[in-house]
Structure 1
Amino acid sequence: MSKIENSSNMTPVLLAHTQIPELLKKLQHFGDQSFQIRSTILFQKQYMCQRFKVWVDDWPDFTTIVIKKELSENLNDIYYIFTLDEKKLKNMLENTDIVEWENALFQAYPYDYHQIIEEITRKRGFGLRCEEDVFRLYKFNETRVNQRSIPEYVTVGALSPEMVDLVIKCKPSPFLGEKSARHLSYLLSTYPSICVFDENGTPIAFEIEYEYGAIGMLFVQPEYRRRGLGKLITTLFLKKCADFSYSPFVIIRDDNEISIQLHIDLGFQKTNIFLFSSMVLKEKA
């Protein structure tokens, strides 16, 4: 455990890896309010990410968490945030050097915090690219996963980094702009994905798991829809999560009625958690 210098009266604490289990235990007391940040931490622990740092405003009686995931020079560092006190969150972001603002991607944070990020980014003279939509979190609420049979005309495997162009073509991501391909390649080489192939080995459906633990980017080729492949892939992901004792969740726009119904049918439950992402642009605003 170490502390970081800053220009305010707050001295954030960098937690040691041995303190993370205690942090997770404390976060459970906040229920759904801390669900996303708990999932992020658990997911990183599961995949033994080394360049993953967790700061709190105080220890052991914390109100605010800032997580930094350091990536390569070609990708933005990723930050995740949680707070019970927005003034302390603002203080921690604004008056310490935890965040490298010109290389920051704030991912899947509660939309209530967006004004704070926007204000600090503007003060520092940087631009901010934001997702066009706010997403609602749905968490899996069943104790067991119903098995689904795999049709004889398909095989199941994983996406590879070489399939980046295919994924972008099917599920374009304007939010990340020119970094979309590099970021997606990183996801596919680091975290789980599931891909369904036809009898000729052509990908016809896929889904990935994001670095903060959400299952998403579900896609089925139009000619193969209404055959249950979407539910099949998500069910396979649920089984994988159950094997790791991990609570699966998805994030969906409120107007995406088809996806909402699919996931409710599988046992997902709507929450009142709304998540948003934004990326600080190196170019001055």
Structure 2
Amino acid sequence: MLVLSCSTKLLILENMLRSHFPESLKVYGAVMNINRGNPFQKEVVLDAWPDFKAVITRQQREAETDNLDHYTNAYAVFYKDATAYQRLLEEHDVINWDQVFQIQGLQSELSDISKAVANSKRLDVKLTSFKAVHFSPVSSLPDTSFLPASSPRSLTALGVGDAELLNRTWSRGGNPQCLRYLARLVACFPSACVRDARGRPVSWGLTDQFATMCHGYTLPEHRRRGYGRLVALALAAKLQRRGFPAQGNVLDDNAPSISLLRGVHARFLPCRFHRLILTPAPAAPQAP
């Protein structure tokens, strides 16, 4: 195991990962954030340098962690050789197996390898697979004249104070860990939001620690007005202006979001996005 901490080498790694799109997109996004201030306290672990065959991004060991927070305790994976990934996964001190965490990646063998190692350590594994998408360059935003006329700043960014609403409306949310995580995302990364005349968010999208567009949502009473399309394109444009690829994922049965993505000419990638949430087995009670 090698922790890559040299800023020059991290920039070289960023450039190297570009030649492995789209499979390297999750790790690439995390490395880009590391190279631009590292607001989420990430680090890079490889099997070797510079001829690496597997790379994992993870939380810095000195960062404060909550063992129940699988949102923040997240690893992104890219490998050129599946066996090298398995060896790195099994190596001592690469993964903190004592906490709830997630593994993300865009390669087909990732889930089987990760599950096999996790099962050997008696962890419960929940796998979800998504369509992966990439936005074409956004040259101009759609017309915003339909936005509430009484609010001149209707298209804005989210604020930390909006995290409570985000937590209530996210299908993966509704708990203190998610609330804290969403507040950090809003504070650290680009977002887009349509607000009503009273300044309350009605439609939004944000960016996660892997530079992935996530939690695109419109309140039910404000749907079918074009807000979701506007937010998606505004957020994609923000990311692209900063040099990031505008990428996201969507569940296969989320017909409204798939229709929206097709409407803005987002490209569905040939690979799929896999997210595994891993939970350690409860400790066995000690004999009296």
CA displacement at 1:273 relative to structure 2: 1.9
Among 211, 228, 231, the residue aligned to 1:230:
228
1:180 aligns with 2:184: no
1:102 is paired with a residue of what secondary structure? coil
Q: Equivalent residue for 2:65?
A: 73
Q: Which amino acid aligns with 1:161?
A: V
Per the normalisation by structure 2, the TM-score is: 0.84
Q: Which amino acid aligns with 2:131?
A: R
Q: Provide the C-alpha distance between the structure 2 equivalents of 1:137 and 1:113, rounded to a whole number of angstroms.
A: 15
Q: Equivalent residue for 1:46?
A: 36
Gaps in structure 2 of 5+ consecutive residues: 284-288
Gaps in structure 1 of 5+ consecutive residues: 5-11
Q: Provide the C-alpha distance between the structure 2 equivalents of 1:207 and 1:29, rounded to a whole number of angstroms.
A: 28
Alignment RMSD = 2.5
1:1-285 equivalence runs, <5 A: 4=1, 12=2, 14-49=4-39, 51-70=41-60, 71-74=63-66, 75-76=69-70, 77-103=73-99, 105-110=101-106, 111-128=108-125, 130-131=126-127, 133-142=128-137, 144-149=139-144, 151=147, 152-154=149-151, 155-173=154-172, 179-284=177-282
Residues 51-98 of structure 1 show CA distances to partners (whole Å, capped at 9, x for unaligned) of: 321122121111110111245322453211111211111111102311
Percent identity, please: 19
256-265 or 176-185, larger mean C-alpha shift: 176-185
Q: Provide the C-alpha distance between the structure 1 equivalents of 2:232 and 2:181, rounded to a whole number of angstroms.
A: 22
* Runs of 4+ deviating beyond 6 Å: none
Cα 1:167–1:95 shift into 2, 3 Å: same
Q: Provide the C-alpha distance between the structure 2 equivalents of 1:187 and 1:31, rounded to a whole number of angstroms.
A: 24
2:94 is paired with a residue of what secondary structure? coil
Q: Equivalent residue for 2:286?
A: none
Q: Provide the C-alpha distance between the structure 2 equivalents of 1:284 and 1:125, rounded to a whole number of angstroms.
A: 9
Per the normalisation by structure 1, the TM-score is: 0.84
For the 8 Å contact 2:189–2:207, the answer to whether it is kept is yes
Q: Provide the C-alpha distance between the structure 2 equivalents of 1:224 and 1:51, rounded to a whole number of angstroms.
A: 36
